[in-house]
Amino acid sequence: MKTDYETIFQLDHLKDFATDTQKKALDKAIEALEANRWIPVSERLPDKNKEYLVKWTTSQSEEPFNEIGEYDHKEREWLLPYYVWRYPDVEVIAWKNEELSTIRVQDLLCKE
C-alpha cells in the first residue's frame, strides 16, 4: 500500500505533463491528501495547543495505537489519557492535522 507521501509525490510529478485544468485538479487532490495525512513527529510538530489524533507506540506491542491527545506547544510535549501511560516507553510517532469533529471510529482503529 502506498503512503500518502508517495501518492502526493506521484501526483506532483504528473503535473509536469498536465493541462492547466488538470494541474488545478491535481493541486486540489494534493492539498486534500496533505491535510489528512499522518505527519511524522520527526518531520514536524504541531504549532498550536489543541487536540489531535495521534499514533503512539510502546515496546510492549508490535502494532501502534491511535488515540486523541493534546499537544502543549509551550512545553513541546504530548498530553495523552492516563491509561496510555501504564505502558513503558510510550512514544508519539505521528499526528493528523484535522478537526476532531471529522474523525471517524475507523480512524481510532489502527487498521490503515
Q: What is the pLDDT of residues 12-22, one digit of tens each?
A: 777 788 788 88
| Mean pLDDT across 34-47 | 86
11: its cell numbers: 501526483
pLDDT at 29: 80
pLDDT at 95: 92
Give the bridge partners for 67, in sequence order. 54
Identify the residue whose cell numbers are 508517495: 6
Instruction: Please determine, for residue 45, whether its predicted confidence score (pLDDT) is greater than 90.
Output: yes
The number of residues in the chain equals 112
Give the bridge partners for 11, in sequence order. none
Taking each helix axis as running N to C, give the angle between helix 4-14 and helix 20-35, from 0 to 180 degrees, rounded to the nearest 10. 170
Instruction: Please determine, for residue 71, whether its predicted confidence score (pLDDT) is greater than 90.
Output: yes
Give the integer Cα–Cα distance in Å for 110 and 93. 13
Do 26 and 11 form a contact (C-beta atoms < 8 A)?
yes
Helix, strand, coil in percent for the chain, rounding step 5: 40, 25, 40
How many Cβ atoms sit within 10 Å of the Cβ of residue 6?
Answer: 10
pLDDT at 3: 61
pLDDT at 102: 58
Give the integer Cα–Cα distance in Å for 55 and 8. 21
